[in-house]
Amino acid sequence: MDTDQKLAPLRKGLLEFLVLRIVSGSSVYVADILRRLAGTEFATQEGTLYPLLSKLRREGLVDYRWQESDAGPPRKYYALTDAGRAQLAELDRYWAQINKTIAELGN
Amino acid sequence: MRQVITVSLNGRAYALEDDAHAALGAYLAEASRALAANPDKDEIVADLEQAIADKCDRCLSAHKTVVSRAEIEAIIGEMGPVDGAAPSPAGAAASSAGAAPAGEAPRAEPASPPPAGAGPAPRRLYQISEGALVSGVCNGLAAYFNLDVTIVRLAFVVLTFLTGGVTVLVYLVLMFVVPYASTSEEHAAARGVPFNARVLVEQAKQKAAQFTNSADWKADRSAWTREWRRTRAEVRRAVREAKAEWRAHRWGAAPPGAPPGPPPSPAPYAAHVLSGLLLAILGLVLAAFTIAWVVALLSLAFTGSILGWWLPHGVSFWIAIVVLIVIYQLVAWPLKAARRAVYGARGVYHAPAVAAWDGIVTLAVLLALGWYAYGHVAGFHDLVEHVRAAFENFADSV
């Protein structure tokens, strides 16, 4: 329990990174994002994800377009913008760097 | 039979059971509050409503058109608490901490400022009629001091014997003076706990965090379930009470057929206490006057004099009776009108309840007078003893 709590801020910080990664693959619908995250350590709920996506959109990293669905009203499909792709590339590099540092310090 | 409330979720109509509606309303109100500082608040709330609507669709079919409380609770559980950390539009790095995976560390970072006016919850003495034995005074005291009501009742009984009955007087005074807790806020104030959707959701968040992070999660889950049931019962009761209050107001104060007015705003606590005192005093005065009047009437009928005061020459017996009746009306009518006005100021006027109270007060004054006369008036004492002896003889012969 203690370890889990200690790692909570880490997961929290990484969630944005992971959402950018998921959105980068193809244009996705919120339920897709939740499904991808469910079952991982980063399982997330709508209550958290919608505000986060709204923030990313305001920062110009993702955007959405409306798409008709077979059942129900049109859905928002999210995709990365150019700025989002640049940010994700930077985060990827940074993450690789962190991994390297951790591995080196361990030995 | 349940009441169903139709709501619009992002533009589509959904039928919810009344307590499901209350739960969803609390969740969305909390979401709006948490997002108050967010520039995209409206859009996020619309997204959330859409997500809830989608989940409701899952529960509905051609043969099931109403969403139940249990289903809404499950949906709210799936949605999770709304992350209210207001992201700063400029600082991306700083605000990236705003998104938390479900149910994590709500205590570590107070995601949102406390609501305006939130201090320590007010604690006030109220009478609580739910589960009351007599009037709810002990119940209210128990809530106020956070004791078991049985202990308070036992204390009252023991004190009654120790003080020779003074405690009963104290109870009577409290019964008249202490207002009833009728709204959910008043019920909360009676226990000194805050009661609003935000706090409920805050508690839920904490419980969820404990639940997610705990190793012995099974025990936590059952505790959480218990807590949720308790909260749910509280919300349901609050809704019921609000309705009852509204009905009482409508049928009590408004003439039948009049358009239903808004529910009465509960009078402030001090005004409640004051009006309670006023009601008690007015009731006692009225009762004393009524008894005096009846005694005067009897005295006139049996002795021809009014309590030793002989009628002036030329005034006949019947005229005296008419004059007495007119005097009674002249004195009693303003007293009754004043009582009605005070009851009205308290928000609700129940004619049967007022009549019952008047009866009880009159009976109490009569008993007190009888008890006093038994001890201090030799004639009355002898009369009672005589009646008792006659009754005992009769009982023996049977």
- Per-residue confidence (pLDDT) for residue B344, from 0 to 100: 67
**What is the band of B276 on the pLDDT scale with cuts at 50, 70, 90?**
confident
CATH code, B10: 1.10.8
Q: Provide the number of CB pairs (under 8 Å) joining chain A to chain B.
A: 110
**What is the band of B333 on the pLDDT scale with cuts at 50, 70, 90?**
confident
- Per-residue confidence (pLDDT) for residue B3, from 0 to 100: 85
Hey, how many other C-beta atoms are within 10 angstroms of the C-beta on B363? 11
Mean pLDDT across B270-281:
78
Query: ipTM, 2 decimals?
Result: 0.80
Inform me whether the C-beta atom of residue A15 falls under 8 Å from chain B C-beta atoms: yes
Rounded to an integer, what distance in angstroms lies between the CA atom of residue B27 and that of residue B48? 10
- Per-residue confidence (pLDDT) for residue B183, from 0 to 100: 59
- Per-residue confidence (pLDDT) for residue B222, from 0 to 100: 67
In Å, how far are B58, B197, B209 from B27, measured between CA atoms?
A: 19, 7, 17
Domain range for residue A82? 2-106
Specify the higher pLDDT residue, B204 or B19.
B19
Do the Cβ atoms of A46 and B101 come within 8 Å? no
Q: Is the pLDDT of residue B100 over 60?
A: no
CA dihedral B250, B253, B258, B263 (to 10 degrees): -40
Indicate the residue of A44, A48, A54 with minimum beta-carbon distance to B40: A54
**What is the band of B93 on the pLDDT scale with cuts at 50, 70, 90?**
very low
Percent of the residues in chain B that have a pLDDT greater than 90, as a whole number: 1
Mean pLDDT across B68-75:
89
Mean pLDDT across B162-188:
74
- Per-residue confidence (pLDDT) for residue B328, from 0 to 100: 84
* B277 in the same domain as B237: no
**Helices and strands, number each (H, E), in chain B:** 14, 5
Specify the higher pLDDT residue, B270 or B260.
B270
Do the Cβ atoms of A58 and B39 come within 8 Å? yes
The answer to whether the beta carbons of residues B349 and B340 sit under 8 Å apart is yes
Rounded to an integer, what distance in angstroms lies between the CA atom of residue B28 and that of residue B75? 12
* B231 in the same domain as B273: no
Instruction: Write the DSSP symbol of residue A68.
Output: -
Q: Is residue B320 part of a domain?
A: yes
* pLDDT per position as a tens digit, B224-258: 677 777 777 777 777 777 766 665 654 444 444 44
Residue numbers in A near B210 (CB within 8 A) = none
* B219 in the same domain as B150: yes
Q: Total structural domains in chain B?
A: 3
Q: Is residue B264 part of a domain?
A: no
Rounded to an integer, what distance in angstroms lies between the CA atom of residue A54 and that of residue A64? 10
- Per-residue confidence (pLDDT) for residue A97, from 0 to 100: 93
Burial (CB count within 10 angstroms: exposed 0-12, middle 13-18, buried 19+), residue B365: middle
Backbone φ and ψ of B239, nearest 5°: -65, -45
* B387 in the same domain as B312: yes
- Per-residue confidence (pLDDT) for residue B256, from 0 to 100: 42
- Per-residue confidence (pLDDT) for residue A84, from 0 to 100: 92
Supply B32's token pair: 């709006």
* B339 in the same domain as B363: yes
* B146 in the same domain as B244: yes
Q: Is residue B209 part of a domain?
A: yes
Q: How far is CA B328 from the centre of its chain?
A: 36
Rounded to an integer, what distance in angstroms lies between the CA atom of residue A83 and that of residue B289? 87
CATH code, A19: 1.10.10.10
- Per-residue confidence (pLDDT) for residue A85, from 0 to 100: 92
Q: Is residue B213 part of a domain?
A: yes
Q: Is residue B90 part of a domain?
A: no
Number of residues assigned to chain A: 107
Mean pLDDT across B42-47:
87
Do the Cβ atoms of A48 and B43 come within 8 Å? no
* Cross-strand pairs, A77: A29, A65
**What is the band of B91 on the pLDDT scale with cuts at 50, 70, 90?**
very low
- Per-residue confidence (pLDDT) for residue A86, from 0 to 100: 92
Pick the most confident of B72-81, B134-143, B206-215, B378-387.
B72-81
* B283 in the same domain as B247: no
- Per-residue confidence (pLDDT) for residue B186, from 0 to 100: 67
- Per-residue confidence (pLDDT) for residue B219, from 0 to 100: 61
Flag the least confident range among B103-117, B167-181, B352-366, B373-387. Answer: B103-117
* B288 in the same domain as B246: no
* B227 in the same domain as B284: no
Rounded to an integer, what distance in angstroms lies between the CA atom of residue B72 and that of residue B388? 67
Best of B27, B47, B48, B49 to disrupt the A interface (most A CBs within 10 Å) is B47
Inform me whether the C-beta atom of residue A76 falls under 8 Å from chain B C-beta atoms: yes
Q: Is residue B380 part of a domain?
A: yes
Rounded to an integer, what distance in angstroms lies between the CA atom of residue B23 and that of residue B213? 25
- Per-residue confidence (pLDDT) for residue A57, from 0 to 100: 92
Q: Is residue B290 part of a domain?
A: yes
Inform me whether the C-beta atom of residue A64 falls under 8 Å from chain B C-beta atoms: no
Q: Is the pLDDT of residue B101 over 60?
A: no
Tens-digit pLDDT string for chain A (107 aa):
577 788 888 888 889 999 999 998 888 888 888 888 888 888 888 888 999 999 999 999 999 888 877 666 788 889 999 999 999 999 999 999 999 998 888 76
Q: Total structural domains in chain A?
A: 1
> Which DSSP string do the residues of B309-365 spell out, in sequence order?
EEPPTT--HHHHHHHHHHHHHHHHHHHHHHHHHHHHHTT---HHHHHHHHHHHHHHH
Q: Is the pLDDT of residue B22 over 70?
A: yes
Domain range for residue B238? 137-253
Supply B394's token pair: 């009769």
Percent of the residues in chain B that have a pLDDT greater than 70, as a whole number: 69
* B337 in the same domain as B247: no
Number of residues assigned to chain B: 398
* B281 in the same domain as B199: no
Q: Is the pLDDT of residue B114 over 60?
A: no
Q: Is the pLDDT of residue B197 over 60?
A: no
What's the gap in Å between the CA of A107 and the closest CA on chain B?
31
The answer to whether the beta carbons of residues A49 and A33 sit under 8 Å apart is yes
* B159 in the same domain as B212: yes
Inform me whether the C-beta atom of residue A85 falls under 8 Å from chain B C-beta atoms: no
Mean pLDDT across B172-182:
79
Mean pLDDT across B330-337:
82
Mean pLDDT across B219-225:
65
Sign (positive/negative) of CA torsion B89, B92, B98, B100?
Answer: positive
> Which DSSP string do the residues of A86-104 spell out, in sequence order?
HHHHHHHHHHHHHHHHHHH
Of B253, B280, B304, the one marking the end of a domain is B253
